[in-house]
Amino acid sequence: MRTLRARMVISQLLPLIIIVPLVGLALIYFIETRVLLPSLTRELTGNASLVAEVTQDQTRLWSDPLYAQALLARVSPRLSARVMLLTADGRLLASTDPNDLDNLDSYLLHPDLLIAQSGQTVRRVYYSQFLQGEALDVWVPAVDRSGVVGVVRMTYRFANILEEFMQLRSSIIVILLFGLVIGAVL
């Protein structure tokens, strides 16, 4: 009788032990890739678009690197992303990243820059060796009546949000373990 009882318990617990972790992994993947990443992309695009819109009519900004750097110094504490201002021809004008300051006035060669120079917004998730991790890149053209006057590039490192992802994963795991224990008891 005990062996039959043990078999019955195992036959009820085994699917629960297999299905709940798989559902948890699927849930984590879905939330990170279908909810958090698109939300972060929209937020970063909105911030870059706001910077581009505010600066598009400021001709001094797009021609004076010191003025552009001073503007970014005032704005950067409110933004969690790296911000670069590039001239219409692709020259680095200003950046919030101190590592970029050596490259000021250099031309940036990047395929996404070419697309932004044509007036389109570019969003891309990629692995960056320079940033040593995955990043989200947004390129937004600053356009006035005469055309593209510059490009705003915002880059957000995933390492910045990794702690939030880990906290989300931990919460989901705790909830699933609690459900697993309740299911096993029932």
Residue pLDDT, tens place only, 58-75: 889 998 999 999 989 888
Q: Report pLDDT digits (tens) over 130-142.
A: 666 788 899 999 9
The pTM of this model reads: 0.79
β-pairing, 122-128 vs 82-87, is: unpaired
Q: Report pLDDT digits (tens) over 2-54.
A: 788 788 778 877 777 888 888 888 888 888 888 888 888 899 999 999 999 98
Alpha-helical (H) ranges within the chain are: 2-30, 37-55, 65-75, 111-117, 159-185
d(CA 1, CA 115): 73
The secondary structure of residue 36, as a DSSP letter, is I
Residue 186 predicted with pLDDT over 80 = no
124, 118 Cβ separation under 8 angstroms: no
Determine what percent of the chain is predicted with pLDDT higher than 90.
33
Q: Report pLDDT digits (tens) over 64-107.
A: 999 999 989 888 888 888 999 999 999 999 999 888 888 888 99
22, 48 Cβ separation under 8 angstroms: no
What pLDDT sits at residue 131? 62
Determine what percent of the chain is predicted with pLDDT higher than 70.
97
